[in-house]
Amino acid sequence: MSLRSRITGTGMCVPDRVVTNADLVEMMDTTDEWIQQRTGIRERRWVEDGQKPSDLAFGATRAALENADLEISDIDCILLSTLSGEHDFPGTSFFLHEKIDAGDIPCIDLRAQCSGFLFGLQMADALVVSGRHRRVLVLGCEVHSTGLDKTTAGRDVSVIFGDGAGAVILEGTDAADGPGLLEVRVHSEGKHARRLWTEAPSSAAPVRLTHEMIDDRRIYPFMDGRFVFKHAVTRMPEVLLETLNAASVKLDEVDLFLFHQANLRINEFVAQKLEIPESKLVNNIQRLGNCSAAALPILLDEAAREGRLEAGQLVSLTAFGSGFTWGSAILRWG
């Protein structure tokens, strides 16, 4: 009997601390007007001192388990996507594993940046459909705020990012024509890796972390913003259509489109290009900023809890990010 994987629970967790554009004006030479005009962002959440990535992942996991009416003992495997690991090693998933008391089930971190959740979803789908694991917990989790250059030198990057975690539980169903994941497609293009990256600490250097790296600000993310923007608005429509085509779904059959929350202007551009009506879009970047790998599972959880998703509806998720990486998924909700 062939299995299909299906999302049976969603959850999210963001810090309580709200950082408005006005708060950023106190730290660097920027304006609320610039940030809103260029990105759509009004505020984001940043962790309090001492709040860790695994704390956010823990909150999202608990919410997803509760939503699915499951216990941690019902989960067989954890895949956690992040670009802002709690420590150099081991991965954040291990600190989550400890917090949720996950026994000896396998966990692993995936590093595919803003598209990380879709890479995780594709791998979880393969694990479930092959029968290797019955239920997989898939997370995106980021604490950006502790790694940003909050001076004017870093303003093009630091005003965008927020902290948060989102989680879904993927499990097998034998109802071949029922709700579930219809298709996930992901891509990478490493030749653009340095267009959006954090160079240091680096194992490619004779010493991983030096005072010079810190003084040169190579420990902070660098982004060639316009280059990234251009690629995002090309690759996102491309992979979205590729995925729908592979699943034999027409664009106008999709009920809801969830796009990565990097910049509201990117999403408006993509929607316009594909002639997607505004009524079929949801965004939360205005409130949460760009939470990289956590953005899509958070958006999915919010859409589900706010009643934007009805059983049987077709939902498309699409992302683009550092690497470069990009991907799209289409699923039937329920």
- Verify binding: residue 155, ligand UT7, rule CB under 6 A: yes
Encoded tokens for 44: 């984001």
Encoded tokens for 162: 């927020």
Choice from 228, 244, 247, 258 touching ligand UT7 (CB under 6 A) = 228
Say whether 97 sits in a helix, a strand or coil.
helix
290: annotated active-site residue: yes
Choice from 47, 77, 107, 114 touching ligand UT7 (CB under 6 A) = 114
Cα(107)–Cα(24) distance, integer angstroms? 36
- Where does this chain touch ligand UT7 (CB under 6 A) — which range of 69-77, 124-132, 262-270, 274-282? 262-270
Single-letter residue type at 168? V
Output the smallest distance, CB 114 to ligand UT7, in A.
Answer: 4
- Verify binding: residue 229, ligand UT7, rule CB under 6 A: yes
Catalytic residue, chosen from 114, 231, 267, 284, is 114
133: annotated active-site residue: no
- What are the φ/ψ torsions at residue 269 (nearest 5 degrees)? -65, -45
Is 116 buried (19+), middle (13-18) or exposed (0-12) by CB count in 10 A?
Answer: buried
- Verify binding: residue 39, ligand UT7, rule CB under 6 A: yes
Binding mask 58-97 for ligand UT7 (x = CB under 6 A): ----------------------------------------
Cis peptide before 324 (omega within 30 of 0): yes
Helix 295-305 crosses helix 53-68 at what angle (to 10 degrees)?
40
141: annotated active-site residue: no
Contacts of 28 (CB under 8 A, 6+ apart): 150, 151, 152, 154, 155, 158, 159
- Verify binding: residue 226, ligand UT7, rule CB under 6 A: yes
Say whether 204 sits in a helix, a strand or coil.
coil
- Verify binding: residue 222, ligand UT7, rule CB under 6 A: no
- Of the pair 266, 294, the CB lying nearest ligand UT7 is at 266
Q: Are 35 and 283 in contact (CB under 8 A)?
A: no
Look-up: residue for tokens 């024509």?
A: 177
Output the smallest distance, CB 116 to ligand UT7, in A.
Answer: 11
Residue of minimal CB distance from ligand UT7?
225
| Active site positions, annotated | 114, 260, 290
> Which positions lie near ligand UT7, rule CB under 6 A?
30, 34-35, 38-39, 114, 155-156, 159-160, 225-226, 228-229, 232, 262-263, 266, 290, 292, 321-322
